[in-house]
Amino acid sequence: MAKGKWLYSEGIMVQDAFAGPFMYYFRNGKVKQKGQMIPVNLPDGSTNYVADGVWIFYNRKGKEIRKITYSSGVLISETQ
């Protein structure tokens, strides 16, 4: 269990980074944010994992407060 702001995060680890569906949780067990991480190949041959698609953010009571849409790590839109 991680100390600090988050209770824990949930996702698949690949090369010390999260890939696929990903969720952060508050200490009270409620979801803080959820979204998708995808691999992006870098020019040096390494791989970086970035946000992709819609990420949803919640307050500590579980109410949705924001949506951010990414395309391969690039911010496309944000709503509150």
Residue ranges of the domains in the chain?
6-79
Cα–Cα distance, 69 to 51 (Å, whole number): 9
Residue pLDDT, tens place only, 17-61: 677 888 888 888 899 999 999 988 889 988 888 999 999 999 999
Give which of 67, 64, 66, 69 is closest to 30, Cα–Cα: 64
| SS3 of residue 10 by DSSP | strand
Residue 75 has pLDDT above 80, yes or no: yes
pTM above 0.75, yes or no: yes
Query: How far apart, in Å, are the Cα atoms of 3 and each of 29, 32, 45, 58, 66?
Result: 13, 15, 34, 20, 25
Q: Are 77 and 68 in contact (CB under 8 A)?
A: yes
Residue 12 reports pLDDT greater than 70 = no
